[in-house]
Amino acid sequence: MIFTSGANAQLLNYSSKDSINGKPEFEAVLKGRLKFNGIYDIKGNLHGNSTFGIHNNDVDGKDRPGIWVDMRQTQIRFDGTRRFKDGKEVFARIEGDFEGGPDNKSTFRIRHAFVQYDNFLLGQTWSTFGDADMWPSSLFDWDGPTGMVESRRPMIRYTGNLTSKLQTELALEVMEPRRLYDYTVPENSSIYYEPRRLPDFIATLKYNLKPGFIKVAGIYRSIGYGANDSFNSSDGYGVSAMVNLFAGADKRNNFQFQFNLGKGITDYFLSVGGSGLDGSVDRFDASKLSLLPVNAGYASYQHYWSNQIHTLFIASYNKFNGKDGSLGWESMLNQYAGGNIMYDVVPSFTVGAEFLWGKKTLEYAQDPNKSLPASRVNFGFLYNF
């Protein structure tokens, strides 16, 4: 998913001289990806955001056209594998980019850091509530569609095979530290932030089509908060249904569909997480945290016209119900759509451009609804080495 073209490109490859079962006892690979990230905002007021986070579009603001160019999404990855005589192996990955830190500073951050042995994984990687392969692979937009469940989590995960095609996953996951309190509490509120005391519990079923799959995931969350000098919690839950299909000669067509439904699960949406939309103070009981119901999803279609030219079309949305909360609106709808064209100059070097459109709409109980569209052109290149 990270290295969508030129997957075999590598900066450094090391293999030990000792072998086990015909393979090196230890081997390691260092990979890199340069990403030139170019943005031109046409409408809306998302300038300064390296992703097309349409939920950040200020419905009371004005259009702010502008250009943006950076290399902050450049990545470095190190993989290592150690094999044992019983046929098992330990796999570890460390991956980072330069998207860390506030104010768009090019600060190095860890994206993935985990170790995997047999059926168990321990560390930080893509959440079990989504799937690492559920990504519109040639999308330039860094956080993806607004209705996509996909986020990186520290976790412990067990993966087991029920049949040759049916797989299950069980995981305990926690929030990233920067999103520890992903709900909105105003100043002078009777509710205050408290750290959570339980991890999120996730269970999945996945049917492998080879290639492609169908997957269903469920999640339970206990979100902590303080009220009246005591610890309290609200129960969040959700389900996600995913389909990833390939069709046509040489599997040149890729269809992806995802639908998500739940309450208090916003932090699992990569483009929306961290926006304080898991919940807010209850409108009718100021000592209670009300979690926001949400339904969301996306559909995408990628087609390879030749070995070098491919296009992607995508549509996505999320809708929040805020009737029981105190955010001031009854519902928020974020729409997202776009398409791109990519050209693989060589197998490890891709150039392209894409157009994205979105609209944020806020509905109120009495006041007129407010909405504002936004549009953007992304352009750039990816070079894997």
- Residue by residue, pLDDT tens for the chain (385 residues) are 333 444 456 668 889 888 888 889 999 999 999 999 999 999 999 998 889 999 999 999 999 999 999 999 999 999 999 999 888 999 999 999 998 876 667 889 999 999 999 999 999 999 999 999 999 988 999 899 999 999 999 999 999 999 999 999 999 999 876 677 899 998 888 899 998 899 999 999 999 998 999 999 999 999 999 998 999 999 999 999 999 999 987 889 999 999 999 999 999 999 998 899 999 999 999 999 999 999 999 999 999 999 999 999 999 999 999 999 999 999 999 999 999 999 999 989 999 999 999 999 999 998 899 999 999 999 999 999 8
- Residue positions counted in the chain: 385
Burial class (CB in 10 A: 0-12, 13-18, 19+), 265: buried
Report pLDDT for 178.
65
Contacts of 164 (CB under 8 A, 6+ apart): none
Element (H, E) at 238: strand 230-247
Backbone φ and ψ for 249, nearest 5 degrees, come out as -60, 135
- Which H or E run contains 198? none
Instruction: Let me know: does 305 contact 262? Beta carbons within 8 Å.
Output: no
Which residues does 18 contact at the CB level (< 8 Å), separation at least 6?
24, 25, 26
Q: Which two tokens stand for residue 209?
A: 């089509």
278 within 8 A of 183, measured Cβ to Cβ: yes
CA angle 22, 28, 33 (to 5 degrees): 130
pLDDT at 383: 95
Distance separating the N- and C-terminal Cα atoms of the chain = 15
For residue 380, give Cα distances in angstroms to 34, 140, 325, 383: 10, 8, 41, 10
Q: What are phi and psi of 317, to 5 degrees?
A: -160, 160
Task: State the DSSP string of 310-356.
Answer: EEEEEEEEEEEE-TTSSSS-SEEEEEEEEEEEEEEEETTEEEEEEEE
Q: What is the pLDDT of residue 2?
A: 34
Report the half-sphere exposure of 161 (CA within 13 A, side-chain side).
6
Q: How far apart are CA 299 and CA 255, in angstroms?
A: 8
At residue 10, the pLDDT reads: 65
Q: What is the pLDDT of residue 77?
A: 96
Q: How far apart are CA 135 and CA 138, in angstroms?
A: 9
153 half-sphere exposure, CB direction, 13 A CA radius: 29
From the CA atom positions of the chain, what is the Rg in Å?
Answer: 22
Q: What does the pLDDT read at residue 6?
A: 41
CA dist 283 and 325 (Å) reads: 5
The per-residue DSSP string of 287-322 comes to TSEEEPEEEEEEEEEEEESSSSEEEEEEEEEEEEE-
pLDDT, residue 9, reads 60
pLDDT of residue 111: 94
DSSP secondary structure letter of residue 53 = -
* Global confidence as pTM: 0.92
Query: What three-state secondary structure class fits 54?
Result: helix
Domains (range + CATH), the chain? 12-384 (2.40.160.10)
Q: What is the dihedral of CA 343, 348, 353, 354, to 10 degrees?
A: 100
Residue 248 corresponds to which amino acid? G
Residue type, 249: A
